[in-house]
Structure 1
Amino acid sequence: MPGDARLTEAGRSVRRSARPAAPQRTCVGCRVRDDRSRLLRVVAEPGPATEVALVPDPRGRLPGRGAWLHPDLDCLDLAERRRAFARALRLQGPVDTAAVREHLATAGGTQGR
Structure 2
Amino acid sequence: MTSWTDVLEKSTGPIRTCVGCRDKVDASTLLRVVAVAGVLTPDPRHRLPGRGAWLHSRVECLDLAGRRRAFGRALRLASVTPESSEVREFLARVHRKQVDPS
Same fold (TM over 0.5): yes
Aligned to 1:71: 57
- Structure 2: how far apart are the matches of 1:34 and 1:22? 10
- Which structure carries more strand by proportion? 1
- Structure 2: how far apart are the matches of 1:77 and 1:96? 8
- Which structure carries more helix by proportion? 2
- Decide which of 84, 91, 96 is 1:104's aligned counterpart: 91
Identity among equivalent positions (%) equals: 60
Is the alpha carbon distance of 1:76 and 1:96 closer, same or farther for their aligned partners in structure 2, counting shifts above 3 Å?
closer
For structure 2, the 5+ residue unaligned runs are: 1-8
For structure 1, the 5+ residue unaligned runs are: 1-16, 47-51
Give the partner amino acid of 2:14: P
Matched, 1:25 2:12: no
Give the partner amino acid of 2:93: T
Larger radius of gyration: 1
Aligned to 2:44: 58
Between the two proteins, the alignment pairs up a number of residues equal to 87
Q: Which runs of 4+ in 1 moved over 4 A?
A: none
- Structure 1: how far apart are the matches of 2:29 and 2:36? 23
Indicate the RMSD between aligned Cα atoms, in angstroms: 2.0
Pairwise CA distance, 1:55: 0.2
Pairwise CA distance, 1:96: 4.7
TM-score (norm 1): 0.71
Pairwise CA distance, 1:22: 2.0
CA shift digits 1:19-38 (9 cap, x unpaired): x7321100000000011110
CA shift digits 1:74-98 (9 cap, x unpaired): 0000000000000000000243543
Match of 1:92, SS state, is: coil
